[in-house]
Chains A and B, each alone.
Chain A
Amino acid sequence: MTTAAPLGKDLLGLEPLSGEQITLILDTAEPFKEISERAIKKVPTLRGSTVVNLFFENSTRTRVSFEFAEKRLSADTVNVAASASSVSKGETLVDTARNLEAMRIDMVVMRHPASGAAAFLAERIESNVINAGDGTHEHPTQGLLDLLTLRDHFKKIEGLRVCICGDVLHSRVARSNIWGLRKLGAEVAVCGPRSLLPSAIDDMGVTVFSRIEEAIEWSDALNILRLQLERMTSGYIPSLREYNRFFGVTRERLERAPRDVLILHPGPMNRGVEIDSDVADGPHSVILPQVTNGVAVRMAVLYLLSGGRPELAEAAKTVKSGGAA
């Protein structure tokens, strides 16, 4: 293996990372941002590397973002969707992984409905594993792109007040954000009905708001989670209408805030439920910059896990041999 493994073999979550490691990924993402702005959006850094995008759940945004990141680094990529794979024929996760590895791949990017699936895979194969969302556990690259977007806007994370709004109970984005923000010194709050918060939330080092107005008044930025529509049918909330009335982020509520509040949303949005359209499309929304940053952050993660040296990330954009050791 490589001597320079600043993140270890895998990226499974932000909870196991130190603040320094997270900052390193964000710093490494900076030079990669520019590649996507070029006419020819491609550098040879991961030429010859094979990456499998293994998606056991539907995802458009995350899969496309990873695929762009891989292609812009010149990796060879294969997409495997669960519905089209042998998984639907009853193959176990460990067999799927071993078969892929037998084809001599270098990295696996996996989205899976079971919490811990990425860790399970990482223990059993030698390839690098990047968690693209495991159940309700973590979605580390989403957390990283949220951090990068906040840092772009505020220039630093330390001391920021960020409130995560909505279905924290079922959200892997919420968990990755809580760990990432806390490790970089931000103050973190959550806001939502108690039925959508973990019962142990008060022990997770965050402030809890039951009223969205109080959350807005406190915050520098809101990260508004998608409300899964099935939460209503499974009885966690009575109706979407009532949710919007008491917990929705509306322009009217934001206008009463003592400062401009930055608006993040991991998408896809339910307009008129957790977020109103004039907030999503408003002047303080950074929802589209989040998507742009997603590609840069994922390029940084791929680069670092493949053995790329952080100090050479800038050079990796131009030097042909790249940093992959």
Chain B
Amino acid sequence: MSRPLVLTGGRILDPSQGVDQITDILLRDGKVIDHGSNIGHPDDALIVDCDGMIVAPGFIDVHCHLREPGRADVETIASGARAAAAGGFTAVCAMPNTDPVIDNPAAVGFVVRQGLLAKAARVYPIGAISVGQRGEALAEFGEMIDSGAIAMSDDGKPVVSAQLMRTALEYARSFGVPVIDHCEEPTLAAGGAMNEGLVSARLGLKGIPDEAEEIMVIRDILLARLTRGHVHLAHMSTKGSVELIRWGKDRGINVTAEVCPHHLSLTEDAVEGYNTNAKMNPPLRTAEDVETLREAVRDGTIDLVATDHAPHHYDEKEREFSNAPNGIVGLETALSVVVDSLVVPGYIDFGTLVERMSCSPARLFGLPGGSLRRGSPADVTIFDPAQRWIVDPRRFMSKGRNTPYAGKTLTGRAICTVVAGEIVYTLDEQRDGK
């Protein structure tokens, strides 16, 4: 039914097949048909001029909180999927810590259905590891995977019991999906509101030491060694975690890891003035941690960038720091923050950016996309690598406005997002910007 799409004159950047050239690409029937200078333009094709743009396999966010069911006032699957498309994401994975928790096949089916209705970025559910995310009984992985779940996680909470984590890794291995852990030793982190250090001591806020994360990182790596299961470590924030992951990978242990854009760009100093939009878990750390994480994205110790998009209501953040909830929205700033913190200073090139935001998540999570090979899904991100823009949260597609980047000028912006050969997002200001 849909018209073919020809994206002309863009820089096609696809690390999955080593392509980096200015040329045209033809999409039809939801697939990539061909690229090159002589692909021909079908009569009924829609032509998109991509001059000056990078045309990449669509970005995939393996970690976001879309809040539905339970908190549709702060985000719905539809608003989250639209926010994702506006940020250049063609697919997102929704964490199961909703109300009720996504811990059964019917709940997984609900997320799948809402995602299809959104007609924006694809939405893949992540199922809970334990029933109700209570850390006790294993949830029905198989049933949930059959209904569309693509990974298991109790994110928002750590899996405290080492025995439960062991079982989860073993059981998930049978089904070929990763187990994602939120690494936080709960007794060390209890009551913590920010990174433990000089800033927390000065502000009188209870700190969370690096070790609260690292103790669980090494435990999970050792359990992955024991079980040969695939453990994926969410939102890594410390230098020590990077060193432990490197240790695990050097030994062939099946561990992968993600980092969030904010941990690549901000330090604990952002908390000064008790800024609740700088409150997240894990907390913003130090400049040394940021530097190490940037290097780790470059050398691949950290496999991918994920947003941990966490919308909250304005009123919930507008309060005393220690009483404010953790988390910031990230879908609509992720690309730009990665460009500014990794590409502009020269840690990585745009090819590596596409690798870490598209190819790597598709490969590690077994998701469609992550490539513009002939026959691949026509999921494409078209972004302007140089556009400078000022973040105005009021213009977000997300219902969440909680961002530490409000008013900041960032570099690089999604211009057009294509999912299954259909344009699901076009930047309004495109004409103004030209």
Binary B-proximity of A50-78 (CB < 8 A = 1, otherwise 0): 00000000000000000000000000000
Q: Which of B202, B207, B320 touches A114 (beta carbons < 8 Å)? A: B320
> In the assembled complex, which residues on chain A have CB atoms less than 8 Å from the CB atom of B319?
92-94, 120
- Whether A172 sits at the interface, judged by CB under 8 Å, is yes
- Which of B67-75, B80-88, B192-200, B224-232 forms part of the interface with chain A? B192-200
Q: How far is the CA of A115 from the CA of B201 in the complex (A)?
A: 11
> In the assembled complex, which residues on chain A have CB atoms less than 8 Å from the CB atom of B205?
115-116, 135-137
- Whether A159 sits at the interface, judged by CB under 8 Å, is no
- Whether A138 sits at the interface, judged by CB under 8 Å, is yes
Q: How far is the CA of A137 from the CA of B322 in the complex (A)?
A: 12
Given contacts A92-B319, A93-B319, contact A115 B196 (CB under 8 A): no
Q: How far is the CB of B175 from chain A (nearest CB, A)?
A: 42
Binary B-proximity of A127-155 (CB < 8 A = 1, otherwise 0): 00000001111100000000000000000
> In the assembled complex, which residues on chain A have CB atoms less than 8 Å from the CB atom of B204?
115-116, 134-138, 172, 175
Q: How far is the CA of A6 from the CA of B320 in the complex (A)?
A: 28
Closest to A170 in B: B204
A137–B320 contact, CB under 8 A?
no
> In the assembled complex, which residues on chain A have CB atoms less than 8 Å from the CB atom of B200?
198, 200
B198–A115 contact, CB under 8 A?
no
B203–A114 contact, CB under 8 A?
no
B201–A201 contact, CB under 8 A?
yes
A137–B196 contact, CB under 8 A?
no
Q: How far is the CA of A116 from the CA of B323 in the complex (A)?
A: 11
> In the assembled complex, which residues on chain A have CB atoms less than 8 Å from the CB atom of B428?
none
> In the assembled complex, which residues on chain B have CB atoms less than 8 Å from the CB atom of A114?
320-323
B198–A112 contact, CB under 8 A?
no
Q: How far is the CA of A112 from the CA of B204 in the complex (A)?
A: 13
Complex interface residues of chain A between 266 and 297 (CB less than 8 A to chain B): none
Q: How far is the CA of A236 from the CA of B350 in the complex (A)?
A: 50
- Whether A199 sits at the interface, judged by CB under 8 Å, is yes
> In the assembled complex, which residues on chain A have CB atoms less than 8 Å from the CB atom of B209?
199
- Whether B318 sits at the interface, judged by CB under 8 Å, is yes
- Whether A15 sits at the interface, judged by CB under 8 Å, is yes
Q: How far is the CB of B70 from chain A (nearest CB, A)?
A: 20
- Whether B252 sits at the interface, judged by CB under 8 Å, is no
- Whether B273 sits at the interface, judged by CB under 8 Å, is yes
> In the assembled complex, which residues on chain B have CB atoms less than 8 Å from the CB atom of A198?
200-201
Q: How far is the CA of A112 from the CA of B273 in the complex (A)?
A: 16
Q: How far is the CA of A15 from the CA of B199 in the complex (A)?
A: 12
Closest to B209 in A: A199
- Whether B274 sits at the interface, judged by CB under 8 Å, is yes
Q: How far is the CB of B208 from chain A (nearest CB, A)?
A: 11
Binary A-proximity of B303-343 (CB < 8 A = 1, otherwise 0): 00000000000010011111100000000000000000000
> In the assembled complex, which residues on chain B have CB atoms less than 8 Å from the CB atom of A120?
274, 319-321
Q: Which of B196, B320, B321 touches A199 (beta carbons < 8 Å)? A: B196
Q: How far is the CB of B188 from chain A (nearest CB, A)?
A: 12
Closest to B193 in A: A115
Identify the interface centre among B203, B320, B322: most chain A CB within 10 Å of its CB. Answer: B320
Closest to A172 in B: B204
Q: Which of A116, A203, A204 touches B321 (beta carbons < 8 Å)? A: A116
Q: How far is the CB of B324 from chain A (nearest CB, A)?
A: 10
Closest to B275 in A: A116
- Whether A227 sits at the interface, judged by CB under 8 Å, is no
> In the assembled complex, which residues on chain B have CB atoms less than 8 Å from the CB atom of A94?
318-319
Binary A-proximity of B253-292 (CB < 8 A = 1, otherwise 0): 0000000000000000000011000000000000000000
Q: How far is the CA of A120 from the CA of B205 in the complex (A)?
A: 14
- Whether A117 sits at the interface, judged by CB under 8 Å, is yes
> In the assembled complex, which residues on chain A have CB atoms less than 8 Å from the CB atom of B202?
15, 175, 204
Q: Which of A116, A138, A175, A200 touches B274 (beta carbons < 8 Å)? A: A116
Q: How far is the CB of A182 from chain B (nearest CB, A)?
A: 12
Given contacts A115-B205, A175-B204, contact A204 B198 (CB under 8 A): yes
- Whether A257 sits at the interface, judged by CB under 8 Å, is no
Q: How far is the CA of A224 from the CA of B218 in the complex (A)?
A: 41
> In the assembled complex, which residues on chain B have CB atoms less than 8 Å from the CB atom of A15?
202
A93–B201 contact, CB under 8 A?
no
B322–A203 contact, CB under 8 A?
no
Given contacts A115-B204, A199-B209, contact A135 B322 (CB under 8 A): yes
> In the assembled complex, which residues on chain B have CB atoms less than 8 Å from the CB atom of A134?
204
B274–A92 contact, CB under 8 A?
no
Q: How far is the CB of B312 from chain A (nearest CB, A)?
A: 14
Given contacts A120-B320, A135-B322, contact A204 B274 (CB under 8 A): no
- Whether A119 sits at the interface, judged by CB under 8 Å, is yes
B274–A115 contact, CB under 8 A?
yes
Q: How far is the CB of A307 from chain B (nearest CB, A)?
A: 25
Closest to B198 in A: A200
Q: How far is the CB of A178 from chain B (nearest CB, A)?
A: 9
Q: How far is the CA of A43 from the CA of B49 in the complex (A)?
A: 78
> In the assembled complex, which residues on chain A have CB atoms less than 8 Å from the CB atom of B206?
136
B203–A116 contact, CB under 8 A?
yes
Q: How far is the CA of A250 from the CA of B261 in the complex (A)?
A: 54
> In the assembled complex, which residues on chain A have CB atoms less than 8 Å from the CB atom of B323?
114
> In the assembled complex, which residues on chain B have CB atoms less than 8 Å from the CB atom of A119?
273-274
Listed from nearest, the 8 A-B pairs whose CB atoms lie closest are A137-B204, A116-B274, A114-B320, A198-B201, A136-B204, A115-B204, A200-B198, A200-B201
Query: Hey, which bits of chain B sit against chain A, CB under 8 A?
Result: 196-198, 200-207, 209, 273-274, 315, 318-323
A-B contacts besides A114-B322, A172-B204, A201-B201, 14 pairs, CB < 8 Å: A116-B274, A116-B322, A134-B204, A135-B322, A136-B205, A136-B206, A175-B202, A198-B200, A199-B207, A200-B200, A200-B201, A203-B198, A204-B201, A204-B202
| A–B Cβ pairs within 8 angstroms, 28 of them | A92-B315, A92-B318, A92-B319, A94-B319, A114-B320, A114-B321, A114-B323, A115-B204, A115-B205, A115-B274, A116-B204, A116-B321, A117-B320, A120-B319, A120-B320, A135-B322, A136-B206, A137-B203, A137-B204, A199-B196, A199-B197, A199-B201, A199-B207, A199-B209, A200-B196, A200-B198, A204-B198, A204-B201
Query: Hey, which bits of chain A sit against chain B, CB under 8 A?
Result: 15, 92-94, 112, 114-117, 119-120, 134-138, 172, 175, 198-201, 203-204
